[in-house]
Chains A and B, each alone.
Chain A
Amino acid sequence: MNSIMEFLNMGGYGAYVWSAYGITFVVMIIAIVIPLRQHATLRKRLTSQLKRKNQS
């Protein structure tokens, strides 16, 4: 138990270290998720456009 608390505390620098890692982690995930969703949206939009064109 002790060592986990020590780990989180990072010798007193916990706030700095974990905010740095935290921001990095969050930003890097968002930076992958956003283009994935944009891609999915683009595909949907283009596919429905094409289907409409084919029907008309």
Chain B
Amino acid sequence: MPWFISIFLLFLMYGLYGGLVLAPADYQQGESYRIIYIHVPAAWMSLFIYMVMAVNGAIGLIWRIKMAEVVAISSAPIGAMFTFLALVTGSIWGKPMWGTWWEWEARLTSELILLFLYLGVIALYNAIEDKRIASRAVAILLLVGVVNIPVIHYSVEWWNTLHQGPTVTKFDKPSIHISMLLPLLSMAVAFKFYFGLGLLVRARKELLHRERNTSWVRELLLDE
């Protein structure tokens, strides 16, 4: 079952991470930098999931494919979670490093805006009775809000910000040591599998709810 494969791979990646977190060398920042192993992958996921939602929203809007609609809305809580985690872990990391829990600067603010966008999507979807219409409304909202994504990504290049500049997602060599880069990437992959897992769980639930009055669902349930 795809279930078990996902779980397995997930734990595999986590295992890799567990081993590697113990390995990386010290750093100028001291040990507190290790928060990077969850902060950065979480932030990456927050952007990645939004794009997944926006694309699926567009597909649902243009071609009216139900699965696209289900995927889009099922990803929302997971995306919101990662955004929240990115903000919280970033804040915790910022306290010893920058001396403050929060700064109103470009990247932090635009990531916060992203969180509100996610929450708005969830709120809008829950407010509309007819789920097919709700999916389309949400798709419109997602597409309007997509301008925020490049803003978040390039905010550290466009403005003088407190948050450090891009070290991995540049076009030339990443300016981070390989022994630290590997666990980081491994965590990123692990988070992606987590996303897959979470998506499957929520999509099943959403699908069941949307299709509850159809015959195939009736047969499925009565077979038990």
Contacts and interface: CB of A to CB of B under 8 A. Distances in A.
A and B physically associate = yes
Interface of A: 7, 9-13, 16-17, 19-21, 23-24, 27-28, 31-32, 35-36, 38-39, 42-43, 46-47, 50-51, 54
15 contacts: A16-B96, A17-B35, A19-B92, A20-B35, A20-B88, A24-B42, A24-B89, A32-B194, A35-B198, A42-B208, A42-B209, A43-B208, A46-B208, A46-B217, A47-B222
B208 A24 contact: no
A17 to B, nearest CB: 5
Contacts, number: 86
B77 A31 contact: yes
Interface of B: 22, 26, 30-32, 34-35, 38-39, 42, 77-78, 81, 84-85, 88-89, 92-93, 95-96, 194, 197-198, 201-202, 204-205, 208-209, 212, 217-218, 221-222, 224
Which of A9, A19, A24, A35 is most buried by chain B, counting CB atoms within 10 A of its CB?
A24
Given A27-B84, A47-B222, A39 B204 contact: yes
B205 A39 contact: yes
Given A16-B32, A50-B222, A35 B217 contact: no
A39 to B, nearest CB: 4
B205 A47 contact: no
A34 to B, nearest CB: 9
A32 B31 contact: no
B30 A13 contact: yes
Contacts of B95: 16
B197 A39 contact: no
B210 to A, nearest CB: 11
A38 B92 contact: no
A54 B118 CA distance: 41
A46 B221 CA distance: 8
Interface centre among A31, A51, A54 (most CB of B within 10 A): A31
Contact of B205 (A7, A20, A35): A35
A42 B208 CA distance: 8
Nearest to B84: A27
